[in-house]
Amino acid sequence: MASDANVTRNAKTALGGLAEALPGLVCAYGFDDEGGGRLLGSADLATELTATSGWLWLHFNLANARARDWIEEHAPLPDSAKELLLETDDHLCLIAEDDALLGVFADFRRELDHDTQDIARLKFALHRRTLVTGRRQALHSVDEARRAIAQGQTFEAGGTLLEQIFDNFSNQVATMTRELADKLETIEDRVVDDRVDPDDLRVGPVRRMALRLNRQVGALRIHFAALVENPERDLPEDVFAMTERVSLRLTSLGRDVEAIQERARIIQEEVSAKAAEHMNRQLSTLSILTALFLPATLVTGLFGMNTKGLPFDSEEIGFWYAFLVCIGGSGIVYLILRRLGVVK
């Protein structure tokens, strides 16, 4: 928690007047030829934008109108990249155009003091020596990348940092997948325990989370695979190699998520079968009790007619005679049910 706060505090301090002139700029980093990154201040941005060595990362809050205006007017990006960054549509996509890689990637929303499992969007455009990213909500993977830079990790190019952001998301999905697998193992152990009430076996939340993850990872797999297999792609070799690695990682991750989803579906079916069996046992017990009390119900109904000529009406112990008839009738029904195999 403290490291996250330090990263944010250092970014605000370094930006200084730049943050005031460009309020929507979350952070700006300049990287040298060895990949070492440093936070940029107000006097550094113009120099970095016109430099010929190293590379530049600008991260914006796209909910800020002034940041959007700056991207439209000053960002060193092709028009197609600017259009994607500024449009309101945030459907997942991956495009190679004008020697640039641009798209919309999934990430997990981050609160001030903790990560969440809510899915958000990261827009990015990588063109030559400039990487521009934008979001409307704080994101886990981007904060992890900023922390790595603050700890001295080097990134030789924008594609390397972008791959790190993608890997951060994949690592988070992999962690969540392992947690879902552990939950399913616990549920599986309880499914075979007849003492456990089926209503206590909560598979639904696991299936919902697996479905959400599969939607995101599955869509990303499709987009990355389509780009890798596209013979007309227009990308530098190092950026294309990065997309190949990310595509392989997403494919492996997608299979794991699909396996969890399928496993959860099978367990849900087992739980449903157990619930149906549990309900059938209860209905069977209720039916047997109803059958056993049927003679008694019939006798009490007859004796409750209040008509003349009822049996045992003049006997002092007529009640007990009627009681014995009820017991005898229930006993006969029990023997019949036992002979039929209904009662064991």
- Residue-wise pLDDT for 95-135, tens only, equals 998 889 999 999 999 886 677 888 999 999 999 899 999 99
**Widest CA span of the chain, in angstroms?**
119
Average pLDDT across the chain, whole number = 84
Q: How far is CA 115 from its chain centroid?
A: 13
Spatial strand order of the sheet with 130-135 comes to 37-39, 25-31, 55-61, 130-135, 115-127, 100-110, 93-97
Q: What are phi and psi of 107, to 5 degrees?
A: -155, 170
Residue 307 CB contacts under 8 Å (≥ 6 apart), including other chains: none
- Residue-wise pLDDT for 294-309, tens only, equals 777 777 776 667 666 6
* pLDDT attached to residue 291: 78
Nearest of 57, 158, 50 to residue 100 by alpha carbon: 158
Structure token digits, residue 151:
């700890």
β-strand partners of 60: 25, 134
Q: How far apart are CA 214 and CA 212, in angstroms?
A: 5
| 213 or 8: which leads in pLDDT | 213
- Residue-wise pLDDT for 133-164, tens only, equals 999 999 999 999 999 999 999 999 999 999 99
Residue 135 CB contacts under 8 Å (≥ 6 apart), including other chains: 59, 60, 61, 62, 107, 120, 121, 122, 123, 142
- Residue-wise pLDDT for 5-61, tens only, equals 444 444 444 444 555 557 788 889 999 999 999 888 767 777 777 778 899 999 999
Nearest of 27, 95, 91, 88 to residue 61 by alpha carbon: 27
Which of 5-14, 181-190, 289-298, 316-325 shows the lowest mean pLDDT across its residues? 5-14
Q: How far apart are CA 335 and CA 341, in angstroms?
A: 10
* pLDDT attached to residue 235: 84
Q: How far is CA 288 from its chain centroid?
A: 46
